[in-house]
Amino acid sequence: MLIVFFPPLTTYCNFHKTVIMHFTTITTALAALATPTFANLMVTNWCQNDVTAWQSHNGSCNAGPNGICSDKPGAAPYTIAARRTTLPFPFISDGAGTSIKISNGVVPGVLQYEYTIDKDILYWDLSNIDGAGAASAGSPFYNQNVKLTPTGNGVGEGPCTQIKCPAGKVCESAYNAPAETKTRACPASTGDMWLDLCEPPSNFQKRARDFSPRVKRNLSATENTAKSWWNAFKNWWH
Protein backbone atom coordinates (compact mmCIF):
# COMPACT_ATOMS: atom_id res chain seq x y z
CA MET A 1 0.00 0.00 0.00
CA LEU A 2 1.33 3.40 -1.00
CA ILE A 3 1.32 5.88 1.77
CA VAL A 4 1.59 9.53 0.86
CA PHE A 5 2.48 12.00 3.56
CA PHE A 6 0.89 15.46 3.34
CA PRO A 7 2.36 18.17 5.54
CA PRO A 8 -0.09 19.97 7.79
CA LEU A 9 -2.18 22.67 6.14
CA THR A 10 -0.49 25.28 8.30
CA THR A 11 2.83 24.39 6.68
CA TYR A 12 1.42 25.18 3.23
CA CYS A 13 -0.08 28.41 4.50
CA ASN A 14 3.15 29.51 6.11
CA PHE A 15 5.15 28.56 3.00
CA HIS A 16 2.68 30.43 0.78
CA LYS A 17 2.81 33.46 3.05
CA THR A 18 6.62 33.40 3.06
CA VAL A 19 6.77 33.22 -0.74
CA ILE A 20 4.34 36.14 -1.06
CA MET A 21 6.31 38.20 1.44
CA HIS A 22 9.58 37.59 -0.40
CA PHE A 23 7.96 38.26 -3.76
CA THR A 24 6.47 41.51 -2.46
CA THR A 25 9.84 42.58 -1.04
CA ILE A 26 11.63 41.86 -4.32
CA THR A 27 8.94 43.62 -6.36
CA THR A 28 9.08 46.67 -4.10
CA ALA A 29 12.86 46.80 -4.35
CA LEU A 30 12.77 46.58 -8.13
CA ALA A 31 10.12 49.30 -8.28
CA ALA A 32 12.27 51.54 -6.12
CA LEU A 33 15.18 51.08 -8.51
CA ALA A 34 13.08 51.72 -11.59
CA THR A 35 11.08 54.68 -10.31
CA PRO A 36 12.91 58.02 -9.94
CA THR A 37 12.36 60.23 -6.92
CA PHE A 38 10.76 63.50 -7.94
CA ALA A 39 11.29 66.85 -6.32
CA ASN A 40 9.81 70.37 -6.55
CA LEU A 41 9.81 73.59 -8.44
CA MET A 42 10.94 76.01 -5.74
CA VAL A 43 9.68 79.53 -6.54
CA THR A 44 11.48 82.29 -4.64
CA ASN A 45 9.95 85.75 -4.73
CA TRP A 46 12.54 88.50 -4.28
CA CYS A 47 10.09 91.15 -5.53
CA GLN A 48 8.82 94.01 -3.37
CA ASN A 49 5.23 92.80 -3.85
CA ASP A 50 3.50 89.46 -3.49
CA VAL A 51 3.16 87.28 -6.57
CA THR A 52 0.42 84.75 -7.30
CA ALA A 53 0.31 81.49 -9.24
CA TRP A 54 -2.18 79.05 -10.71
CA GLN A 55 -1.44 75.46 -11.70
CA SER A 56 -2.95 73.61 -14.65
CA HIS A 57 -2.34 69.87 -15.13
CA ASN A 58 -3.14 67.75 -18.17
CA GLY A 59 -5.07 70.58 -19.81
CA SER A 60 -7.34 71.11 -16.82
CA CYS A 61 -8.43 74.46 -15.43
CA ASN A 62 -6.18 76.82 -13.53
CA ALA A 63 -6.43 75.94 -9.85
CA GLY A 64 -4.94 77.09 -6.57
CA PRO A 65 -4.05 75.15 -3.42
CA ASN A 66 -7.72 74.34 -2.68
CA GLY A 67 -8.15 72.74 -6.13
CA ILE A 68 -11.05 75.02 -7.16
CA CYS A 69 -10.91 76.28 -10.75
CA SER A 70 -10.06 79.97 -11.06
CA ASP A 71 -13.43 80.79 -12.66
CA LYS A 72 -15.46 79.18 -9.85
CA PRO A 73 -16.63 80.64 -6.53
CA GLY A 74 -14.17 80.08 -3.73
CA ALA A 75 -11.12 79.93 -5.98
CA ALA A 76 -7.87 81.34 -4.64
CA PRO A 77 -4.39 81.32 -6.19
CA TYR A 78 -1.13 80.30 -4.60
CA THR A 79 0.43 83.37 -2.99
CA ILE A 80 4.17 83.83 -2.62
CA ALA A 81 4.91 86.65 -0.22
CA ALA A 82 7.33 89.43 -1.07
CA ARG A 83 10.99 89.75 -0.09
CA ARG A 84 12.50 86.32 -0.51
CA THR A 85 9.76 83.87 0.34
CA THR A 86 9.91 80.41 -1.24
CA LEU A 87 6.98 78.17 -2.14
CA PRO A 88 7.43 74.57 -3.39
CA PHE A 89 5.34 73.08 -6.20
CA PRO A 90 5.79 69.28 -6.10
CA PHE A 91 6.44 67.73 -9.49
CA ILE A 92 3.61 65.56 -10.88
CA SER A 93 5.03 62.44 -12.48
CA ASP A 94 2.12 60.84 -14.33
CA GLY A 95 3.39 61.69 -17.83
CA ALA A 96 0.93 64.54 -18.42
CA GLY A 97 1.93 68.17 -18.90
CA THR A 98 1.78 70.76 -16.13
CA SER A 99 1.92 74.56 -16.34
CA ILE A 100 2.58 76.85 -13.37
CA LYS A 101 1.43 80.36 -14.29
CA ILE A 102 2.89 83.21 -12.27
CA SER A 103 1.68 86.81 -12.15
CA ASN A 104 3.23 89.79 -10.39
CA GLY A 105 -0.15 91.44 -9.85
CA VAL A 106 1.09 94.70 -11.34
CA VAL A 107 0.92 94.17 -15.11
CA PRO A 108 -1.23 91.68 -17.07
CA GLY A 109 0.09 88.36 -18.25
CA VAL A 110 1.86 85.36 -16.73
CA LEU A 111 5.26 83.73 -16.76
CA GLN A 112 4.82 79.99 -17.24
CA TYR A 113 6.99 77.14 -16.05
CA GLU A 114 5.92 74.12 -18.10
CA TYR A 115 7.05 70.55 -17.63
CA THR A 116 6.33 66.90 -18.36
CA ILE A 117 7.94 63.88 -16.71
CA ASP A 118 8.03 61.07 -19.26
CA LYS A 119 9.64 57.88 -17.99
CA ASP A 120 13.21 58.84 -17.09
CA ILE A 121 13.26 62.40 -18.49
CA LEU A 122 11.98 65.69 -17.12
CA TYR A 123 11.18 68.03 -20.04
CA TRP A 124 10.79 71.67 -19.01
CA ASP A 125 10.76 75.25 -20.24
CA LEU A 126 9.94 78.86 -19.43
CA SER A 127 7.28 80.50 -21.58
CA ASN A 128 6.51 84.16 -22.20
CA ILE A 129 3.89 83.43 -24.86
CA ASP A 130 1.09 84.73 -22.61
CA GLY A 131 3.39 87.11 -20.76
CA ALA A 132 1.62 90.29 -21.84
CA GLY A 133 -1.89 88.86 -21.69
CA ALA A 134 -3.67 86.01 -23.44
CA ALA A 135 -1.74 85.00 -26.60
CA SER A 136 0.46 88.09 -26.29
CA ALA A 137 4.20 87.56 -25.94
CA GLY A 138 6.01 89.42 -23.21
CA SER A 139 6.76 88.97 -19.55
CA PRO A 140 5.29 90.46 -16.37
CA PHE A 141 8.87 90.25 -15.05
CA TYR A 142 10.46 91.93 -18.08
CA ASN A 143 12.05 94.63 -15.91
CA GLN A 144 13.30 92.14 -13.33
CA ASN A 145 15.98 89.44 -13.27
CA VAL A 146 14.61 85.91 -13.56
CA LYS A 147 16.72 82.80 -13.11
CA LEU A 148 15.81 79.09 -13.32
CA THR A 149 18.36 76.69 -11.87
CA PRO A 150 18.21 72.86 -11.97
CA THR A 151 20.03 70.91 -9.26
CA GLY A 152 21.06 67.30 -8.75
CA ASN A 153 21.57 64.59 -11.34
CA GLY A 154 22.48 65.63 -14.87
CA VAL A 155 23.06 69.33 -14.18
CA GLY A 156 25.42 70.81 -16.76
CA GLU A 157 25.02 67.89 -19.14
CA GLY A 158 23.37 68.48 -22.51
CA PRO A 159 20.21 70.60 -22.14
CA CYS A 160 20.07 70.33 -18.33
CA THR A 161 21.39 73.86 -17.78
CA GLN A 162 20.42 77.08 -16.06
CA ILE A 163 18.21 79.75 -17.69
CA LYS A 164 18.97 83.43 -17.02
CA CYS A 165 16.61 86.20 -18.15
CA PRO A 166 18.26 89.59 -17.51
CA ALA A 167 16.09 92.59 -16.66
CA GLY A 168 15.09 94.82 -19.56
CA LYS A 169 15.84 92.25 -22.27
CA VAL A 170 13.82 89.66 -24.16
CA CYS A 171 14.61 86.29 -22.61
CA GLU A 172 16.13 84.35 -25.49
CA SER A 173 16.09 81.11 -23.49
CA ALA A 174 12.31 81.18 -22.98
CA TYR A 175 9.51 80.56 -25.46
CA ASN A 176 8.42 83.83 -27.05
CA ALA A 177 6.58 82.23 -29.99
CA PRO A 178 4.92 78.80 -30.33
CA ALA A 179 7.10 77.75 -33.27
CA GLU A 180 10.31 78.07 -31.27
CA THR A 181 12.14 75.14 -29.73
CA LYS A 182 13.22 76.09 -26.23
CA THR A 183 12.44 72.88 -24.34
CA ARG A 184 15.17 71.59 -22.04
CA ALA A 185 15.59 68.27 -20.29
CA CYS A 186 17.09 66.75 -17.16
CA PRO A 187 16.98 63.25 -15.68
CA ALA A 188 13.70 62.63 -13.91
CA SER A 189 15.78 61.83 -10.82
CA THR A 190 17.23 65.34 -10.70
CA GLY A 191 16.76 67.49 -7.62
CA ASP A 192 14.68 70.59 -6.99
CA MET A 193 14.52 73.35 -9.58
CA TRP A 194 14.75 76.91 -8.30
CA LEU A 195 12.90 79.75 -10.01
CA ASP A 196 14.09 83.13 -8.72
CA LEU A 197 11.89 86.15 -9.49
CA CYS A 198 13.19 89.73 -9.24
CA GLU A 199 16.56 88.42 -8.16
CA PRO A 200 19.03 91.13 -7.02
CA PRO A 201 21.86 91.81 -9.51
CA SER A 202 24.54 90.62 -7.08
CA ASN A 203 22.90 87.20 -6.84
CA PHE A 204 21.82 87.07 -10.49
CA GLN A 205 25.40 87.41 -11.74
CA LYS A 206 26.60 84.40 -9.78
CA ARG A 207 27.04 81.22 -11.78
CA ALA A 208 25.66 79.07 -8.97
CA ARG A 209 22.56 79.79 -6.93
CA ASP A 210 22.99 81.00 -3.37
CA PHE A 211 21.09 78.60 -1.11
CA SER A 212 20.74 80.55 2.12
CA PRO A 213 19.70 78.85 5.41
CA ARG A 214 16.25 80.42 5.07
CA VAL A 215 15.35 78.53 1.92
CA LYS A 216 17.93 75.74 1.88
CA ARG A 217 16.62 72.23 1.32
CA ASN A 218 18.27 68.86 1.19
CA LEU A 219 19.75 68.90 -2.31
CA SER A 220 21.59 65.60 -2.08
CA ALA A 221 20.81 63.89 -5.38
CA THR A 222 19.13 60.53 -5.48
CA GLU A 223 20.98 57.73 -7.21
CA ASN A 224 20.54 58.06 -10.95
CA THR A 225 18.31 55.13 -11.83
CA ALA A 226 17.93 56.35 -15.41
CA LYS A 227 21.46 56.46 -16.81
CA SER A 228 20.20 56.41 -20.37
CA TRP A 229 18.26 59.69 -20.06
CA TRP A 230 20.64 61.70 -22.22
CA ASN A 231 20.58 59.18 -25.07
CA ALA A 232 16.80 58.99 -24.78
CA PHE A 233 16.55 62.77 -25.00
CA LYS A 234 18.79 62.91 -28.07
CA ASN A 235 16.67 60.25 -29.75
CA TRP A 236 13.49 62.22 -28.95
CA TRP A 237 15.05 65.51 -30.11
CA HIS A 238 16.06 64.12 -33.49
Tens digit of each residue's pLDDT (9 = 90 or more) over 171-198: 999 999 889 999 999 999 888 999 999 9
Whether residue 118 is predicted with pLDDT greater than 60 in this model: the reply is yes
- Tens of pLDDT, residues 79-116: 999 989 999 999 999 999 999 999 998 888 899 999 99
221 occurs within a structural domain = no
What is the model's pLDDT at position 210?
A: 54
- Please tell me whether residues 27 and 61 are part of one structural domain: no
Of 55, 112, 109, whose CA–CA distance to 78 is shortest? 55
CATH number (domain holding residue 54):
2.60.110.10
Spatial contact of 106 and 74, defined as CB atoms under 8 Å apart: no
- Cα(22)–Cα(14) distance, integer angstroms: 12
DSSP for 103-171 reads E-SSSS--EEEEEEEETTEEEEEEE-TTBTBTT----TTTTS-EEEEEEETTTTSTT---EEE-TTS--
Facing residues of 91 across strands?
Answer: none
Q: Is residue 44 part of a domain?
A: yes
Both 27 and 45 in one domain: the answer is: no
Residues 26 and 128 placed together within one structural domain of the fold: no
Considering the domain architecture, whether residues 151 and 57 belong to the same structural domain is answered as yes
Q: How far apart are the first and last CA of the chain?
A: 74
Is residue 15 domain-shared with residue 110, that is, in the same domain? no
Pairing type for strands 40-45 and 190-197 reads parallel
Percent of the chain with pLDDT over 70: 68
**pTM, to two decimals:** 0.73
Q: Which residue has the higher pLDDT, 225 or 44?
A: 44
Asked if 63 and 174 sit in the same domain, the reply is yes
76 in the same domain as 20: no
**Whether 182 contacts 125, CB under 8 Å:** yes
Within a 10 A sphere around the Cβ of 230, how many other Cβ atoms? 19
Range of the domain at 59: 38-207+228-237
Q: Quick check: is 214 in a domain? A: no
| Residues 60, 28 share a domain | no
Residues 25 and 75 in one domain: no
